[in-house]
Amino acid sequence: MDGSENRQLARDSLFVMADLRLDGVDGEHRIKMRNLSSGGMMGEGAVRVSRGASVQVNVRNIGWVEGTVAWVQ
């Protein structure tokens, strides 16, 4: 699925604090989840990530979810 197909998925706009683990970086980083869909999420925080980086996000009531950074602004 390319980026344009992901934009068609229903997203829930929200503001939830979550913890993020970045592959190759020690510790957890606090982020704000801004929206969430079955295809991904948007988060913001002070930690620097790069497109393609492997991450894990601790989503409240779900647990740790693995993913890959698709874009960075």
The model's pLDDT over 31-72, given as tens digits with 9 standing for 90+, comes to 999 988 888 889 999 999 999 999 999 988 889 999 999 999
Question: Taking the CA of residue 54 as centre, how many other CA atoms within 13 Å lie in the half-sphere pointing to its CB?
Answer: 4
Q: Which residue has the tokens 């801004």?
A: 34
- Whether residue 9 is predicted with pLDDT greater than 70 in this model: the reply is no
Stronger pLDDT, 20 or 59, i.e. the higher one: 20
Mean local confidence (pLDDT), 22-36: 92
Shortest CA distance to 72 belongs to which of 35, 36, 37, 45? 45
Distance, in Å, from the CA atom of 27 to the CA atom of 25, rounded to the nearest integer, reads 7
Distance, in Å, from the CA atom of 53 to the CA atom of 20, rounded to the nearest integer, reads 12
